[in-house]
Structure 1
Amino acid sequence: MRAETGLGSLPCCSELFRNPVLASLVNPQRDVICCADSYPVVLVPLEILHPHEEVDPARLSELRSDILSTGLIRKPVLVESETLVILDGHHRVQVLKRLGKRLVPALLISYNDPCVRVESWRSDWVVTKDLVLRAGLVGPLLPHKTSRHILCIDVPFVDVPLSALG
């Protein structure tokens, strides 16, 4: 499932080294699962990620049951590569933390990339990239289902077993 190739043959790995924290923690030969277009999907430590939204307890419980029944994380969370703010996947991150896991598969993408757009699920909110980053880095967290991130690529299925997440 993980890429068994060196950094030189994975063009998407350059995104890893824009952030010195990632560069110090992620080994491309060990931790890169795949590339989604030009973006890496990498196993990253949960403790370095910054949420920008709260989670819904009912959804958290439902997702926990789904994850435990399959034993898999089907899709990576979406993480801004420079700030490590979680853009999508807050519930998956919380489930993994509560299960005592250390890692999560994450698709890393820069918010400066024109491939990323943000909208709001809520009619009473105007959501901008700056608002998302501010909520993730300094708070307060936004209510759950406030931001909706739209990419110009499809997020791949990765089907990472829970046992691979520490």
Structure 2
Amino acid sequence: MTGTDLILISPSDLRPTEAFHPDRVRAVIALIVAGQAWTQPICVERASLAILDGHHRHAAALQLGLARVPVRMFDYERVELGSWRHDWCPTRLEVLRRARDGDLYPPKTTRHTFTAGETISIALARLT
């Protein structure tokens, strides 16, 4: 496996690390339904399936009842971690603990920086 493998996986197998904004989820659902395609994978830590980026897409997938979603798998040591909030300083261990325990950060707390992946477009019908 490379550092950024792309697979299809059940959204119920993924472990959130942050809460989400319901209004943003509705907007994401509208984009997915209008385009009838999924264009940006959810980024997760390979070993734990902790969501690093894509909490709103994950919530949209659950609300749409999708059986699988495109996920880009990352080795966490290859991902830069920061925060969108000046008053938070998350660590990798804390992110993974929160995923394991369901103790979610507030929305838009962690900021993970990734190597750019290829553009995707997966028909929504393939994910149901």
TM-score by length of 1: 0.73
Equivalence for 1:131: 94
User: Identity over the aligned pairs, expressed in percent?
Assistant: 33
Q: What 5-or-longer segments of structure 1 have no aligned partner?
A: 1-13, 16-37
Partner of residue 161, structure 1? 123
Count of residues in Structure 1 that have an aligned counterpart in Structure 2: 128
Asked if 1 retains the 8 angstrom alpha-carbon contact of 2:16 and 2:102, the reply is: no
| Residue 92 of structure 1, aligned match among 57, 69, 83 | 57
The runs of 5 or more residues in structure 2 that have no matched partner are: none
Q: How does 1:16-165 map to 2 (within 5 A)?
A: 38-111=3-76, 113=77, 115-151=78-114, 153-165=115-127
The letter for the 2-side match of 1:80 is E
Aligned CA RMSD, in angstroms, stands at 1.2
Whichever of the two has the greater Rg, that structure is: 1
TM-score, with structure 2 as normaliser: 0.94
In structure 1, how many angstroms separate the alpha carbons of the residues matched to 2:117 and 2:95? Answer: 20
Deviation readout 1:147-166 (Å, 9 max, x if unpaired): 01012x20322111111112
Structure 1 residue runs of 4 or more that deviate by more than 4 Å after TM superposition = none
Question: Larger relative contact order (C-alpha < 8 A, sep ≥ 6)?
Answer: 2
